[in-house]
A and B are shown apart, each in its own frame.
Chain A
Amino acid sequence: MIPFRNVSGPVACLPLDNIDTDQLIPARFMTRTRSEGYGDALLRDLRMDANGKPVPDFPLHAETGPVFLVAGANFGCGSSREAAVYALADFGIRAVLALGFGDIFHSNAMKNGLLPIVLSLTDNARAMKAGQMTIDLEAQTVTVQDGGPPLSFEVPAAARRRMLEGLDEISDTLTRLTSIEAHEAVAHRARPWLLPDISPT
């Protein structure tokens, strides 16, 4: 994961609600491996017409690739497919600012260095007008280049710590293996029926 500390860049606006993960990455692209990349398939059916030609004026076609995306409510709802996050990340998007996120998308994002930021209606409207912005994850602020005060946001503390350092969650959890084993021993002794009989029948 690329650490996220202080990132600046151009903003693209997609003033739509309920952009689901099927839109972010249509199912037909999902046989790819991670190393093949998903950037070209991001929002494919909104960005391109039926003949594969770019839809004129679609917000993501700006010459300088956007680093931030501002959208409406319930961004990333629907399927759990993490490829929706891969598509955004591979396209070069480092943060999505929205009025709210699909739960699974939100956790998928933070595990891949893509920062999901929930903004109020007023702050979101301000962000929509920004051409450029700077996001400081340490200070949890968004500085919009409009002369106004920075916007603030909240993210879960542990995920924030890992994003700042670019740390992997699995390695982190494996340091707690003793606690996990102790918990399992107690639970499985108290409730032996939790363990399925997987011997061949």
Chain B
Amino acid sequence: MTAQTLVEKIRHAHLVLHEDGMDLLAVDRHYLHEGSHHAFARLAEMSLSVRRPDLTFGVADHYVPTSGAPATDVIAGMIEKLDRNGAAHGLSVFGRGDPRQGIVHVAMPEQGLTLPGNIIVCGDSHTATHGALGAWAFGIGASEVAHVLATQTLWQAPPKPMRITVTGRLAEGVTAKDLSLHIIATIRTDGAAGHAVEYAGGAITALSVESRMTLCNMTIEMGARAGIVPPDATTAEWLLDRPYAPKGAARVQAESDWAILASDEGARYAREVTIAAAEVAPMVTWGTSPDEAVAVTGIVPLGEDTAESRTYMDLEGGQPIEGVPVDMVFIGSCTNARLSDLHEAARVLKGGRTQVPLLVSPGSTAIAMEAERIGLADVFRAAGARWGASGCSLCVGMNGDLVAPGTRCASTSNRNFRGRQGPGARTHLMSPAMAAAAALTGRITDVRRLDVEVRS
């Protein structure tokens, strides 16, 4: 038999039929958020019901208020619409007030719904996140959401396999967020277009599941729809005792099935990239695309091709990126709002005082509760941060939280597009530790310079 990649193995296990170069794939988990209203409207138009309510899970995240401001009628209406659609079709929906609520890409793995070898889809491009658990997971559009609701399948062109091998170990104080920005800056925003990216190498194996999620989450920003880390003992252990994860005999069989979920020796990739982990430094974006990123010790690039981004960001070519003043800081999003991210930020902030407004929005209500329990929330509050509720918040600004026009935000989110955090907003992407450092100094700061124990 021909040697297969991990994604090819998952593809074959889910292939209903192959026609005109396209696969009809069975979907194991379909996650929904408030944006699914278009798809439910389409379903109603066609008088169809949800085919597999048992495999469909909803959660309120995009419109949930997170900074204390009350929801406007329009915003509250979006959240209620999800509840209503879920109830009408008998789906599990984790709405406001449910301890299982959270950002879809944080809450669903946390509940043990995302499993190795699954095909997982959601109407959100950062669905790639779930690849951290060895699932083939990708974002889809509203028409595709309606298609999955009605059929529990999806038409897909077979993706081209790509492998990114990260050799060695990340240096102390360097995180998965820095690694992902480094890779994107290296291969550019369309460097993996049309490919499913498999991560390999010692630096990847050494990452926690949370860090793998950050890395897979950002894979969409290099053009790939999916990123995947082969499941291993770290994955299986992480899944133990999660509410929806298989238990008992099912668990025993699941673990033996997961054990063979690896690419075969000699499997062929359409593209291979190798990155040396030791060369990765804390990164920060200076421009309006995630590939416009440099090491915090670097400079804003010169040159005509980057002039538009520089103008929008109000930066000079050749100026050091470190020291650029920021007006506010956001720690949150499906990229960096897990408990480990909050730990990283809190270590930097502990005992200090923020110089600019800082909003911390935990990735899920469960994380918020745990952070309260272990005193992490108090560290943020004591430093002067606003400790918010869980949701997509300032990553995309759909819940009413916005960055004012012309002001600068240091953000742990995933996109620095023009106007992403509000019209005219200027976004600098970075890791939670770097964002915390920016909050303490009011400027983009190399966290390694600060006298804190971030190196532990």
Residues of A within 8 A of B289 (CB): 18, 20
In the complex, are the beta carbons of B26 and A187 less than 8 A apart?
A: yes
Nearest CB of A to B229, in Å: 20
Task: Decide yes or no: A23 and B418 within 8 Å by CB, A170-B46, A174-B150 being known contacts.
Answer: yes
Residues of B within 8 A of A198 (CB): 54, 92, 244
Query: What are the interface flags for A9-35 relative to B under an 8 Å C-beta threshold, 1 for contact and 0 otherwise?
Result: 000000000101011001110110110
Residues of B within 8 A of A168 (CB): 46
**Partner pick for B140 among A30, A80, A171, A180, CB 8 A cutoff:** A80
Q: B residues 316-361 with Cβ under 8 Å of A?
A: none
Residues of B within 8 A of A194 (CB): 28, 115, 118
CA separation between A171 and B150, bound complex, in Å?
9
User: Is A146 engaged at the interface, CB distance under 8 Å to the other chain?
Assistant: no
In the complex, are the beta carbons of A187 and B13 less than 8 A apart?
A: yes
User: Is A94 engaged at the interface, CB distance under 8 Å to the other chain?
Assistant: no
In the complex, are the beta carbons of B141 and A80 less than 8 A apart?
A: yes
In the complex, are the beta carbons of B141 and A82 less than 8 A apart?
A: yes
Stretch from A58-66, A101-109, A120-128, A133-141 forming part of the interface with B = A101-109
Residue of B nearest to A194 (CB): B28
CA separation between A107 and B55, bound complex, in Å?
23
Task: Decide yes or no: A74 and B223 within 8 Å by CB, A50-B405, A104-B141 being known contacts.
Answer: yes
Tier of interface size on chain B: 35 or more
Nearest CB of A to B305, in Å: 9
CA separation between A19 and B13, bound complex, in Å?
36
Residues of A within 8 A of B201 (CB): none
User: Is B246 engaged at the interface, CB distance under 8 Å to the other chain?
Assistant: yes
Residue of B nearest to A173 (CB): B151
User: Is B96 engaged at the interface, CB distance under 8 Å to the other chain?
Assistant: no
User: Is B298 engaged at the interface, CB distance under 8 Å to the other chain?
Assistant: no
Residues of B within 8 A of A187 (CB): 13-14, 26
In the complex, are the beta carbons of A173 and B147 less than 8 A apart?
A: yes
Query: What are the interface flags for B1-33 relative to A under an 8 Å C-beta threshold, 1 for contact and 0 otherwise?
Result: 000000000000111110111101010110000
In the complex, are the beta carbons of A103 and B142 less than 8 A apart?
A: no
Query: What are the interface flags for B204-216 relative to A under an 8 Å C-beta threshold, 1 for contact and 0 otherwise?
Result: 0000000000000
Task: Decide yes or no: A50 and B257 within 8 Å by CB, A23-B419, A80-B141, A169-B155 being known contacts.
Answer: no
Residues of A within 8 A of B69 (CB): none
Residues of B within 8 A of A73 (CB): 190
User: Is B35 engaged at the interface, CB distance under 8 Å to the other chain?
Assistant: yes
CA separation between A28 and B15, bound complex, in Å?
38
A82, A105, A173, most chain B CB atoms within 10 A: A82
CA separation between A82 and B140, bound complex, in Å?
9
In the complex, are the beta carbons of A78 and B143 less than 8 A apart?
A: no
In the complex, are the beta carbons of B147 and A28 less than 8 A apart?
A: no
CA separation between A127 and B144, bound complex, in Å?
31
Query: What are the interface flags for B396-430 relative to A under an 8 Å C-beta threshold, 1 for contact and 0 otherwise?
Result: 11100000010000000001011110011000000
Nearest CB of B to A178, in Å: 10
Task: Decide yes or no: A170 and B417 within 8 Å by CB, A30-B398, A180-B153, A191-B257 being known contacts.
Answer: no
Residue of A nearest to B188 (CB): A74
Nearest CB of B to A44, in Å: 8
**Partner pick for B225 among A27, A104, A180, CB 8 A cutoff:** A104
In the complex, are the beta carbons of B150 and A80 less than 8 A apart?
A: no
CA separation between A103 and B125, bound complex, in Å?
10
CA separation between A77 and B221, bound complex, in Å?
8
In the complex, are the beta carbons of A27 and B37 less than 8 A apart?
A: no
**Partner pick for B19 among A26, A30, A158, A183, CB 8 A cutoff:** A158
- The 10 lowest CB-CB distance pairs between A and B, nearest first, are A108-B141, A193-B254, A193-B246, A111-B143, A82-B142, A82-B141, A158-B20, A80-B139, A157-B20, A193-B250
Q: Which residues of A contact B (CB under 8 A)?
A: 18, 20, 22-23, 26-28, 30-31, 33-34, 45, 50, 73-74, 77-83, 85, 100, 102-105, 107-108, 111-112, 156-158, 161, 168-171, 173-174, 176-177, 179-180, 183-184, 187, 191-198, 201
Q: Which residues of B contact A (CB under 8 A)?
A: 13-17, 19-22, 24, 26, 28-29, 35, 37-38, 41-42, 46, 48, 54-55, 63, 74-75, 77-78, 92, 113, 115, 117-118, 123-125, 139-144, 146-147, 150-153, 155, 157, 189-190, 193-194, 223-225, 243-244, 246-247, 250-251, 253-254, 257, 289, 396-398, 405, 415, 417-420, 423-424
A sample of 11 more A-B contacts (CB under 8 A), given A196-B29, A201-B243, is A20-B289, A26-B419, A31-B74, A74-B193, A85-B141, A170-B46, A180-B26, A180-B153, A183-B14, A183-B26, A194-B115
